[in-house]
Structures are given as structure tokens and as C-alpha cells.
Amino acid sequence: MIRKFTFFLLLMFSAIFFAQIYKPLDTSDYAQRKEFARNYMANNELLIKDLKSKYSGKAGSELPKIYKELGKDFDDKVKNKDFTFNSVFDAKVKSLIERLRKNNPQIPQNLKILIAKNNTPNAFCFADGTFVINMGLFSWLNNDDQLASVISHELGHKITEHTLKAFLSMINQNQTDKLVVQNIKSNKVNRNQRAFDVLRDRIYQKGAKNRKQEMEADSLGYVVFKNSNFKKNEFINALKRLEDFDTISPRQLNVETYKKFFNLPKQEFNDKWLAKEDFSLYNYNNFNNKLNKDSLKSHPEVTLRINNLKKIFPELKNEVADEKASESYAILEKIARMETLPNFYHSEDYGLGIYTSLQFLQDGEEEKYYKNWLGKCFGKIYEARKNYNLNRYLDRVDPKNQSESYQQFLNFMWNLNLDEIKNIADYYQYKES
């Protein structure tokens, strides 16, 4: 009965949602934030006390320091309104976790759910049972089963206490490193190369351990997932979706889009704004990496993870197309998509906010809504340019690591002078609001 009522409310919300300009999720949740922060810090203190009783020596002194610092950092994020409380997403996540828990008694009972105002499709679980789901998961994944698969993976990390094990390994490694450094200092022969060799080996070893943990979490997570009668292949489909994610959307932004939205009544479009920096004389191939990038990745390539799962679980070998989203998930997916700009604005990613607004406008989506966010982000860019700290909010052009479309956007933004930025900000904040 409760599920039916919740679904009814979602449908009612959907009808209202599509009938008017979308309003971002309410963040006037001071009482909930204060209560959560108080409980979180109290639980973290209990955790620290427990660690002191369980571990002696270096681990017994260092672990409490690490968890105290983590607790303070997380408390700052709560106070900074990085999470939404009692949002429309909570019921969906709780229902999926309850479904996972039904045939998996090893899942902790004390999980507390938080939805992060973050567009990256990710999730993580803290030692005290606080489970954080990024809003980006809802807009990037395709259905309930894929969302449940990511939650299952993170539960795999939680059940095996991977974070705690990583901290213990780090503490032990620090002790070993001190002895190695002393040895390097005692012998001056080829000291720099020997120091770099030690650093490289430590980094590679750390990467290898992290990759092993990811694959362990995949395997355990999949067992939890299939025990709960979710569609098995959606675990693989979710990994494929995550592999395709890029913080900076690869979608092409057409030149005509710039001319359409920046040819203003009192400021005509200037073709010089689209001029590009010339990097043709710089040969990137002359640069040789001293470290192997593949060895530094903490998350193994998704292809390797998928192949590993198929090797362990033969039922995953046959590929199946993504399931269609349920009506309740489709509504949440739309809301998460509309929260993309408020999330960028909250995290002060104003350049990405402008780029994404233009892409939505190019596609003809919610024009008045995205024009408003275009103006807000340009307003912040104007303040940054005026205060000589634009680098903080807008990337520099990097031909080696950016798509041509994003490079074109960055060139456009850096070519605008202060008055031109202000004119655009004023137009979209006031004339188009």
C-alpha cells in the first residue's frame, strides 16, 4: 500500500513537473542537516573508540587520526549542503537496498542514505554505515536494476571492509618507506634515480591492490545482486554505462548554437570570439611519461572487470540489451537531469555549467530554464574575471585531453572581454528571466 501511494505521489509530481518551469530541489533543510551531522559525529567518535581498542602500536595511533579527519571532512560537506535530505530519490534507494537485503543477511542493518548533489555517477559507503548515492547515477544509468548493481558493488566494498584494509596497508607501508628513505640517504650513489624507483614501485603496488579490491567488490556485489532476483545482465550493462561516462559531455556543440544564443540585441555576435589557439607547433609525442598511466589507475579498465565477471559467472557471457526504465525510475531520471545545472552551480563548476546549458539549449530542452542558468553561471564568470581568478572556474585549453568541441568552447570563453561577459550575464539574468 505504501509503495502504491509513493508511486502515486511520483506521478502527481510528474504531472506538475512537466506543466511548469522546473524548480530545483529545496535545500532549506537546516534541521535535518544539523540532526544528521550530530548523529554522524557521535557515531564516528564511537568508531574511533572501537578502533583504539582493537588495534595497538602504529595502527592503533594512526587509524583514529585518519577517521577523525575523514569525519571532519564529511561533516564540512554536510554543512556545505552537498547533500539533499528527504528528497524524491530516497524512497527508491531505500527500496532497492531492502530488496538486496532480503536474501543477503550480511548487508549491515544500520545503513543511512544520503543523496549527493554531484553529477558523477558514483556511490560510496562510510565505515559507520552512511551510504552516499550521487544524483548523477539516476541521470546516467537506465533503470532500477542498474542502480541496484552499483549499490551492490559498494556493498561489496563495505562487507569486506576494503577501506579499513587500505588504511592499514598504507600505515604499514609508511613504516617501510621510512626505512627505505634512511637507506637512500646513507648512500649518495645515484640517489635521485633510486628514490624515483622506490616511488614508482610504491605507486604501482598501491594501484595493483586497489584494482584487486575493485574486482573483489564486483564479484561479491554480483552475488548480492543476483541473490535478490534482479536481471543478471544489467550488472554488466551498468558497467558499460559507467565506462561511457565523461564529466565533460562529448556531445558536439555547433557553431550555430553560439551564434544563436550570443547574438544579442545590444551586442552582436563577433566571429573573433571563436578564434582558436594554435598548438600545431607543439609535438606532444616528444613527451615520454616516466610512469605507466595504466599502472596508476585505481579502478581497472571496465573491459577487464567485465571479462573477469564473465569468467567467474558464465551466465553473464550472453549480452542482453538494457531493460526499459520503470515509470518511477524515468521520473527520477528526469529530475536528476534537471538538477544537473543546480549541481554544477553548487560545486562552482560555472564553466561546465555554461557548456552544459548550451548543449541542452541546442537540443531544445526547457529553454527558459536553461537560459536562466546560463545567465547565473555567466554572472559568476563575470565576477571571477573581474577578480582575476577565472582559472578557478574555467579550464584552460588542453588539446591532448579535450574534445574539439570543448576546446572550441574554452577558446570562446577566454576570448570574451569583461564587458562582453557582463552583457551576456545581464541579458540572460534579467532580460530572459
pLDDT of residue 96: 95
Same structural domain, 46 and 195: yes
* Entry pTM: 0.84
The reply to whether 159 and 207 lie within a common domain is: yes
Q: What percentage of the chain reaches a pLDDT higher than 90?
A: 58
Lowest mean pLDDT across 12-21, 142-151, 241-250, 275-284: 12-21
Q: How confident is the model at residue 22 (pLDDT cuts 50, 70, 90)?
A: confident
Q: Is residue 244 part of a domain?
A: no
Q: Are residues 168 and 24 in the same domain?
A: yes
Q: Is residue 99 part of a domain?
A: yes
Do 411 and 262 reside in the same domain of the chain? yes
Range of the domain at 199: 19-231
Work out how many domains the chain is built from and give that number. 2
| Residue 111 and residue 29 share a domain | yes
Clarify whether residues 222 and 283 are in a common domain.
no
Same structural domain, 164 and 225 = yes
pLDDT digits (tens, 9 = 90+) for 331-371: 999 999 999 999 999 999 999 999 999 999 999 988 999 99
In a domain, 299, yes or no: no
Using alpha carbons, select from 361, 377, 371, 369 the residue that is nearest to residue 413. 377
**Same domain, yes or no, for 216 and 260?**
no
Residue 241 lies in a domain: no
